[in-house]
């Protein structure tokens, strides 16, 4: 696929979309064909590092068992929950944490309690914590890298025929968002059972706009197929 296909569509989207008084997100939507999501091999969940990060602030939370880390993680994450407090969290508390925090982390020793007491609430929301070492510098590096990562997953809904993820902001230009999209597209193709043959459409939308289809997407699929 040519980056130009994405860029032309994004230029149209950004020029036609009504100006808002906030920096709208730009999402990419991939729709699929010939996928059977009852088959584990057709389901995926992974992160992609993009070249043009757009997130300004991530609210972070960590579940910790190591006593030294309880102190040393202060100032690195926004909230620390000791392992011995996990089981006392109510379902309402857990839902609020999932809603209020962008990035949930867990020191390895705390993850068993997280899974036991919080998993049923966090997992369906796609908010299960990512495991990090009990090292404040490593945790800071992990958080810094998260600003350049986007997640793709079709695990939540087994009947889903599309995946949507944030790929940029209107404050980026069309070329930067197109670069992000190319990286994500290529990573997705590598994960699909039949690669490019499983992608039906690619669309973009801003927070408030209707989706707009990438023009010529059928043509570039044919070009890619002929080149095999």
Q: Judge whether residue 18 has pLDDT over 50.
A: yes
Contacts of 72 (CB under 8 A, 6+ apart): 136
Copy the structure tokens of residue 167. Answer: 């790929």
Q: Note the pLDDT of residue 157.
A: 66
Q: Note the pLDDT of residue 221.
A: 37
Could you give the CA distance from residue 201 to residue 1 in angstroms, rounded to a whole number? 13
pLDDT in tens, 138-171: 999 999 999 999 999 988 766 678 999 999 999 9
Nearest residue to 199 (alpha-carbon basis) of 29, 55, 41, 49: 29
Q: Report domain extents, the chain.
A: 3-55+152-226, 60-146
Could you give the CA distance from residue 161 to residue 38 in angstroms, rounded to a whole number? 12
Q: Judge whether residue 186 has pLDDT over 70.
A: yes
Name the pTM for this structure. 0.81
Could you give the CA distance from residue 100 to residue 23 in angstroms, rounded to a whole number? 20
Could you give the CA distance from residue 182 to residue 19 in angstroms, rounded to a whole number? 26
The CATH homologous superfamily of the domain defined by 3-55+152-226 = Ribosomal protein L1/L10, rRNA-binding domain (3.30.190.20)
Copy the structure tokens of residue 117. Answer: 């007491």
pLDDT in tens, 48-75: 999 999 998 999 999 999 999 999 999 9
Q: Note the pLDDT of residue 226.
A: 32
CATH assignment of 60-146? 3.40.50.790
């Amino acid at each position: 696929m040519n980056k130009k296909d994405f860029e032309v569509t994004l230029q149209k989207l950004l020029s036609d979309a009504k100006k808002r008084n906030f920096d709208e997100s730009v999402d990419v939507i991939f729709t699929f064909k010939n996928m059977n999501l009852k088959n584990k091999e057709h389901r995926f969940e992974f992160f992609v590092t993009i070249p043009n990060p757009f997130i300004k602030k991530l609210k972070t939370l960590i579940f910790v068992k190591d006593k030294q880390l309880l102190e040393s993680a202060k100032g690195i994450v926004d909230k620390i929950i000791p392992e011995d407090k996990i089981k006392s969290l109510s379902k309402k508390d857990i839902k609020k944490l999932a809603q209020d925090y962008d990035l949930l982390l867990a020191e390895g020793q705390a993850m068993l309690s997280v899974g036991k007491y919080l998993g049923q609430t966090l997992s369906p929301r796609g908010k299960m914590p990512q495991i990090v070492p009990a090292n404040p510098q490593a945790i800071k590096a992990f958080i810094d890298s998260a600003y350049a990562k986007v997640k793709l997953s079709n695990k939540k809904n087994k009947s889903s025929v599309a995946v949507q993820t944030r790929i940029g902001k209107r404050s980026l230009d069309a070329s930067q968002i197109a670069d992000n999209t190319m990286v994500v597209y290529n990573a997705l193709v590598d994960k699909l059972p039949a690669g490019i043959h499983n992608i039906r459409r690619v669309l973009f939308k801003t927070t408030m706009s209707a989706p707009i289809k990438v023009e010529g997407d059928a043509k570039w699929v044919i070009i890619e197929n002929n080149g095999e």
